[in-house]
């Protein structure tokens, strides 16, 4: 393949983007990058260092951090300065505060630079987040925006918690998702919006398998237009 394809998958929490992006990357043998894990890691560190309300210190912390993402056995392993934070970044406290951290413009600039550097490795990349198709890679070869109704997204998130042995009331999850939607969509720095040329997929009544097929079809069509060969496992 003479060109590394960049596939950008954006969408709100619970839209299915992480699960779908992982499978798409596996089927294409592409690098998978979960940018949300980076913001979660910084949120956890801000909480741990008690600097959640000090944007300057959060930015300074991010500038000193070396973030490493490795997709192993279906899980994104997150290391910051050599410390494995994987088990700490998906707690309720992190969920409640990640949007607050994510809106810090200086932090976003630092992480976007890191994300672009990560994407230079491998045969191609599937990167998922909230601003991949609009900010990180506005010229991505394939752009997809996943969405779903709030009740379905809350149900999915509750299932994730239950699978990890945690019971969180559905109304609390729904409230948190609604807050994150408003915060992420209205922040000044890199708001959550659909890129004009992104394919919109409502996943409310669509299976993961169907989502994956839709995206793979887009990838294949793009590869055909660019006259490059791809292998889908």
Q: State how far the alpha carbon of 80 is from the alpha carbons of 20, 42, 232, in Å.
A: 25, 9, 32
- Does residue 137 surpass a pLDDT of 80? yes
pLDDT of residue 164: 82
Query: pLDDT tens across 41-50, in order?
Result: 999 999 999 9
What domains sit in the chain, N to C, each tagged with a CATH number? 5-223 (3.40.50.300)
Q: Which of 46-55, 73-82, 132-141 is the least confident region?
A: 73-82
The pLDDT value recorded for residue 3 is 66
Q: How confident is the model at residue 1 (pLDDT cuts 50, 70, 90)?
A: very low
Distance of alpha carbon 211 from alpha carbon 206, whole angstroms: 7
pTM for this entry: 0.86
């Amino acid at each position: 393949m003479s060109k590394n394809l960049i596939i950008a998958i954006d969408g709100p929490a619970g839209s299915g983007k992480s699960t779908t992006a992982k499978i798409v990357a596996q089927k294409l043998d592409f690098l998978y990058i979960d940018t949300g894990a980076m913001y979660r890691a910084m949120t956890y560190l801000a909480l741990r260092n008690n600097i959640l309300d000090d944007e300057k210190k959060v930015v300074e912390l991010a500038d000193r951090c070396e973030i490493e993402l490795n997709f192993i056995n279906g899980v994104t392993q997150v290391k910051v300065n050599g410390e494995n934070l994987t088990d700490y970044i998906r707690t309720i406290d992190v969920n409640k505060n990640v949007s607050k951290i994510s809106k810090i413009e200086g932090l976003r600039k630092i992480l976007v630079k890191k994300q672009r550097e990560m994407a230079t490795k491998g045969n191609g990349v599937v990167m998922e987040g909230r601003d991949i198709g609009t900010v990180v890679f506005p010229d991505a070869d394939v752009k997809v925006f996943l969405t779903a109704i709030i009740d379905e997204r809350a149900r999915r998130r509750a299932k994730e918690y239950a699978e990890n042995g945690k019971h969180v009331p559905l109304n609390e999850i729904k409230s948190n998702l609604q807050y994150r939607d408003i915060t992420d969509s209205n922040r000044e720095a890199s708001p959550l919006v659909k890129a004009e040329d992104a394919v919109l997929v409502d996943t409310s009544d669509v299976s993961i398998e169907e989502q994956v097929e839709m995206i793979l079809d887009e990838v294949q069509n793009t590869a055909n237009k660019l006259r490059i060969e791809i292998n889908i496992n």
